[in-house]
Structure 1
């Protein structure tokens, strides 16, 4: 299986036995959700993951998901309330609630949310179940009248969204800063950042890491229309992207989310950055032992779009069948990937540009196809050349050898990638690849293998990928 699986840990999966089963079924990244907990409470879970990692000899990545700003309404008088279609409600700052009682009042405690709200804009509550249209500005940036576009139940403390509106809220909160410090302390490998809107949001997290003397890959969660609009700039600073379809479906028209998903995946491949597709992939398996046909199609389509990772949330955190759910992702991937590779008909050709490493990587993929190589082996100190090979989507699995123990945790996000810590005492990179190939029983004899490496030549000032070797074992 080339597609990577991310599993969210929770009460249903917080044991060595379940984690082990999920890893054997294909999980390589474990997600810890900081929306519901803190670093100290995750310490025993991290210990369990490291036990499984050591026992199985498989590099695992632990990703902490920061919760970001909580955008919720306050306490609504008399809630829960039945709201009919075309009913009027007020939306405003809590201090205004006592002055208006002719219709329900939805209070907010964050003035930034109302700044720039105008007549004709949409407001979504309760995960999109209730939709409102702004019909009147009563006090600019403070109080508005809304009209319900559909009937539903209005409850307190529910999430609120303003589709298409730029929210003047920092994505990196004070709680996130505390959680980031804790995440680094307990040994997490990656950070996911919620409600990213601009590149600066990602840069804020990286700046805080720099202060702490640490580096972890940052996954920018795309949940807002602003993030979709800014994706090219966000990709320049983020290490990976998550298509978080839950909140994205509230911000954008639900009918547009499938196309947005495809565009984001394509943009990530061109930028050589991994992309995760998340939210409700196999949601019915929270309670059922098999998924629906629509869910199986959804997972398969994400794979055929070119996603690097599929992420499970409730399915593995609170579901009745966490390991079995991962197993179904594996089954779908193994059935879908051959067709995906057949459809793209060979590795992706680079655009015309002066980029020797990209063309060298493409050449390695073509040569691997020509000799029907079982695998492509590359040496990369930082993982950079392996990422470029991965972006060509070769038919062969990629084994990346690196002497840096922090690199495998990042490479786990990449499609078809197996990271390996190599013996740094062997001075020549190509020799490291040959030693690994000869010593690995999974690589049959009588076959040709493609080795990609970089060794400085007299005219080079730094080590870069500069060599392809056809090696017969």
Structure 2
């Protein structure tokens, strides 16, 4: 499968047998949601992932998804209660709650002072995960207490999320809980870390510094959930390892009608920057309860693949759903059908822009050579993973075997479109000999068949050349 499947683990999917079936049907990345558990809870689950990895002989990736500074309102009197269109409510810090005998308006408390700071008349406020939309109509106490007016009717409940579309949030992406979870997650063996509510490159850099402090390297996945992140996309792409289009909270921050185009623009930008991109949220949501998806959901998954997403993600569907394995099978089937049309539509590998980037042109040339030879595969020897990612962004129809000596890089490359990561473990062999040995022993290739191999070979004038070599090898 060229497009990878990310599946969230939860009560419905923690059985080793279920996890094994998920992996057999295309799941390569298991998401561990640290919003609902800690590293101690996930430690035995990671051991199960490693056992399945060994049984199937394919790399599997355990991705820790950190909670981030998601903000929720406090208790609402009489919750749940209906709010009428045009009704005025109060939004403020908990100690600003008025005497209900003197003011009958519903009071919504928010115990995060920085979020109320700078709120002004006319600004939008969304509650109940975006189902209730308000505008600020009066500033009662600057930065502390406001009147907000409902733009639509709906149900208001306690402890729901709140969003301020377009407003800068002066909160770091990593909370104290996240830092604790990050280090403990690394201790139990997570392979990648997703950070929530990224706003700028500094959030990514801070996370990478925490990982470096731990004395290891794992890739960082930046979840784009705020308008600020979209506005700062280029800077984020310069420092992150991968991106997730987290459409749930992003859909609260930006107009819903703009979300499909934002998704397409992010995917395109990620491919040009050689950063894998995951599309997430409500992809097959109806399958939490139903054995088949809606037509719209099938189309949504297919469109994400046709847009060029590296990965598509399941959340509630596999965490708490009634049809976990069937949901994965449906996503695999949609992907396979969509990819046939996708490859037919693009016809040939993507040509690079007119730019001075020899490594990108080497990757493109390798894809053209593989097409011309009607080769089954392109094999990339890579230490950092960059060679395989560059080749992946050209979107060849051949499988890309990424041959690396680093287990961390191997599992990171599960995020990249079309890449089959493999670990090289022959310490006494040269890199080209190791790749050729793999071809000779791999049952995927028939005797006499050609494959294309790319690698980087140091030269007298450049001891760190990147990818600079293409070889045609016949088994």
Shorter-chain TM-score: which interval? over 0.9
Residue 393 of structure 1 corresponds to 395
Report the equivalent of 2:39: 39
**1:119 CA displacement:** 1.1
After superposition, the C-alpha distances for 1:414-465 in whole angstroms (9 at most, x for unaligned) are 0000010113424432222211111111112332211111222333222522
Contact 1:195 1:222 (8 Å CA) reproduced: yes
Structure 1 residue ranges without an equivalent (≥5): none
Within the candidate set 312, 315, 321, 1:313 is matched to 315
CA distance in 2, matches of 1:97, 1:389: 58
Specify the alignment match of 2:186 in structure 1. Answer: 184
**Distance of 1:329 and 1:80 partners within structure 2:** 36
Question: Within 2, Cα distance between the matches of 1:267 and 1:456?
Answer: 31
SS of the equivalent of 1:98 reads coil
Q: Residue 418 of structure 1: which of 420, 433, 457 is its match?
A: 420
Task: Find the aligned partners of 2:54 and 2:474 in 1 and give their Cα distance.
Answer: 32
* Cα separation, 2, equivalents of 1:314 and 1:110: 28
CA distance in 1, matches of 2:323, 2:91: 41
Are positions 1:339 and 2:341 aligned together? yes
SS at match of 2:335: helix
1:98 counterpart residue number: 98
Is 2:163 the counterpart of 1:161? yes
Aligned to 1:3: 3
Contact 1:84–1:148 (Cα < 8 Å) also in 2: yes
Corresponding position: 1:364 with 2:398 = no
In the TM superposition, what whole-angstrom CA distance separates every residue of 1:301-325 from its partner, at most 9, and x where no partner exists?
Answer: 0000000000100000000111111
Q: Find the counterpart in structure 1 of residue 450 from structure 2.
A: 448
What residue in structure 1 maps to residue 262 of structure 2? 260
Q: Provide the aligned C-alpha RMSD in A.
A: 1.1
What are the residue-to-residue correspondences of 1:65-76 with 2, within 5 Å? 65-76=65-76
Once residues 369 and 171 of structure 1 are traced to their aligned partners in structure 2, the CA distance between those partners, rounded to angstroms, is 44
Q: Indicate conservation of the 8 Å contact 2:70/2:197, yes or no.
A: no
Instruction: Please state if 1:108 is matched with 2:100.
Output: no
Maintained 8 Å contact 1:34/1:65: yes
- SS, match of residue 373 in structure 1: coil
Give me the whole-angstrom Cα distance separating, in 2, the residues matched to 1:126 and 1:111. Answer: 20
Aligned residue for 1:235?
237
| Distance (Å, rounded) in 2 between the aligned partners of 1:235 and 1:372 | 34
> Who is 1:205 aligned against?
207
Within 2, Cα distance between the matches of 1:77 and 1:464?
A: 62
User: Which residue number corresponds to residue 87 of structure 1?
Assistant: 87
Where 1:36 maps in the other structure, the secondary structure is coil
Counterpart mapping for 1:131-146 below 5 A: 131-146=133-148
Q: Contact 1:217 / 1:239 at 8 angstroms: preserved in 2?
A: yes
CA distance in 2, matches of 1:226, 1:353: 29
Gaps of 5+ in 2: none
Whole-angstrom CA distance in 2 between matches of 1:88 and 1:265: 40
Distance, in Å, in 2 between the alignment partners of 1:440 and 1:427 is 17
Aligned residue for 2:402, secondary structure, equals: strand
Matched-pair contact (CA < 8 Å) for 1:15–1:48 = no
Query: After TM superposition, what 4+ stretches of structure 1 lie above 4 angstroms from structure 2?
Result: none
- Of 431, 434, 442, which residue of structure 1 is paired with 2:433? 431
In structure 1, what is the Cα distance between the partners aligned to 2:470 and 2:218? Answer: 30
**Farther off after superposition, 302-311 or 163-172:** 163-172
| Separation in 2, partners of 1:207, 1:98 | 44
Shift of 1:332: 0.7
Deviation at 1:136, TM superposition (A): 1.1
CA–CA distance in 2 between the matches of 1:296 and 1:470?
Answer: 39
Deviation sequence 1:161-211 (CA, Å, 0-9, x none): 001111111110000011011101100000000000011111111111111
Contact 1:429–1:454 under 8 Å retained in 2: no
Secondary structure, counterpart of 1:200 in structure 2:
helix
**Count of aligned pairs:** 473
